[in-house]
Amino acid sequence: MSAKLDPASIPLGLYLHLPWCRRKCPYCDFNSHPLKDDQSTTLKEQYLLALKESVSKITHTQTSRRVQSIYFGGGTPSLFSPDQIDQILSTINHCFTLDQDAEITMEVNPGASETAKLEGFLAAGINRLSLGVQSFSDPMLNSLGRIHGRKEALTASDAALSTGFNSVNLDLMFALPGQTLDEAKSDLDTLLNLEPEHISLYQLTLEPNTLFHAHPPKLPQQDHVWAMQESLFELLQEAGYQQYEVSAWSKPGNRCRHNLNYWEFGDYLGVGAGAHGKLTRTDGIWRTLQPRHPNEFMKHASDAETENASLVSDDETGFEFFLNGLRLREGVAADLFPERTGLQLDLFTPLFEKLERLGLFVVENNRLKTTPQGYRFLNDTLEFFLPE
C-alpha cells in the first residue's frame, strides 16, 4: 500500500442474507435451502435472533460510520413476516446511524402470501423492492421450476408497483430452455408495460452444483443468444432505460445505490449465512465471511467472533477494483482507485497502454472504462488484470 486509506470517506452498506426458499430452483446456486413447513416457524424465529445478535456484534467494528444502504437478499426474504423485518430494522437502527435517505431494499418472490405482506414491509421501513419475476410465460416458468405462474407474476408486479415503494426492480431472465426470440421479446414487452423504475436482465447460466448443470436443458445456441440480447437491449433503450451495469438498467435517477457501492469498491458489512463483507481499515482492506450453512451460522452467532476476517493483498485489491468497476457501463472514476485501494494508479499504466492499443479500454474524462468492444468481451478484458 502506498496511498493513505481513510475508512470514514468510504460509503458503507449492510447486506443481510435470509437463506430459505419454498423450493430450490434447478438453476440456482445461491446459498438457499428449502424450508419445510413443519420447521418453518421455529427456524425463522431462531434465525431472526441470530441475525439480531450478529448485527449487534458487528457494530463494534464500525462505530462511527453511517450506513447508506441496506439489502435483504436471499433466498426468499419475503418468507419472513413484516414484523420480523421490522425487528431486524429496529436492531439495525439501534446499532448504527443510517443516512436519512438510506436505500433499504428487499428481495421478494411472486406468490399470494408474499404479495399480501407488501404493505407491511413498506410500513416496516423497506423503501425499495426487487421482485424475481423471471418470465411472464407459464411454459417458461414451468421449465425453470418456479412455483409461480404468469398470473402471480403479474399480480405481484402490480402490487409491488402500486404499494408506494420509492423504487421497484423487476428481475427477468432470457435465453431460457426452448425460448425463441419472439418469446423473449414478448416477456420483456410485458415487463416494460408495467414501467418499473429498475430492471435486472440476466442471461440464464448453468452454474456448477445445480440440477441444471447436472442435467442441462436445451438452451438457445450462442449466436441466437447474442441476437436475443441485442434485440432486448434495443427494446430497453427505446423504452427510456439506461444500462449502467452488465445486467442493470434503470430510469434516470433510479440506480441501485447498494449495488453501485459494490461496483465502486465501497465497503459493506455482510450478516447471515454465508454473507461476506468488505471493510477498509487504516491498515488495509479486510474480507469477512460468516458460516455458510444456516445451522452453523445460528450455532455461532453468539460466539465472540462470528466471522472469519482476512487481509486482502495489494495484488488482489487492484484486480478486485477493476473486476467490479469495469462492470459499470460508464466505468469508474480514476480518483476512486487510490481512495478505495490505497494503491497508486501508475502501477497500471503499462497495462492500460496495452489494452488501449488492443481497443479494449480507455481513460476518458478521468474515468477508467472499457470500450464497447472491451465491454462486449468483458471477461476476456478482465483477465488482463489478473495478478500474475
Ligand X SMILES: C[S@@+](CC[C@H](N)C(=O)[O-])C[C@H]1O[C@@H](n2cnc3c(N)ncnc32)[C@H](O)[C@@H]1O
Contact call for residues 132 and 144 (beta carbons, < 8 A):
no
325 interacts with ligand SF4 by CB under 6 A: no
Which of ligand X, ligand SF4, none binds 205 (CB below 5-8 Å, type-dependent)? ligand X
Among 3, 7, 30, 127, binds ligand SF4 (CB under 6 A): 30
Which of ligand X, ligand SF4, none binds 202 (CB below 5-8 Å, type-dependent)? ligand X
For ligand X, which is the closer residue by CB, 27 or 244?
Answer: 27
76 interacts with ligand SF4 by CB under 6 A: yes
For 65, other C-beta atoms within 10 Å of its C-beta total: 19
Residue 241 is classified by DSSP as -
The residue assigned the cell 420509492 is 166
28 interacts with ligand SF4 by CB under 6 A: yes
Contact call for residues 47 and 81 (beta carbons, < 8 A):
no
Among 3, 7, 24, 56, binds ligand SF4 (CB under 6 A): 24
As given in the structure block, the three cell numbers for residue 375 are 465491454
Q: Give the nearest distance from C-beta 284 to ligand X in angstroms.
A: 30
Q: Give the nearest distance from C-beta 265 to ligand X in angstroms.
A: 21
Label residue 162 exposed, middle or buried (CB < 10 Å: 0-12, 13-18, 19+).
Answer: exposed
* Footprint on this chain of ligand X (rule: CB under 6 A): 27-28, 30, 73-74, 76, 107, 109, 132, 134, 171, 173, 202, 204-205, 207
341 interacts with ligand SF4 by CB under 6 A: no
Among 10, 15, 17, 32, binds ligand SF4 (CB under 6 A): 32
For ligand SF4, which is the closer residue by CB, 111 or 331?
Answer: 111
As given in the structure block, the three cell numbers for residue 201 are 436482465
Nearest to 125 by CA among 79, 90, 163, 73: 90
Three-class SS state of 51: helix
Backbone angles phi, psi at 222, to 5 degrees: -55, -40
Cβ within 8 Å of residue 183, ≥6 positions away:
137, 140
25 interacts with ligand SF4 by CB under 6 A: yes
For ligand X, which is the closer residue by CB, 145 or 338?
Answer: 145
Which of ligand SF4, ligand X, none binds 24 (CB below 5-8 Å, type-dependent)? ligand SF4
Nearest to 267 by CA among 64, 125, 122, 22: 64
Residues that bind ligand SF4 (CB under 6 A): 21, 24-25, 28, 30, 32, 74-76, 109, 132
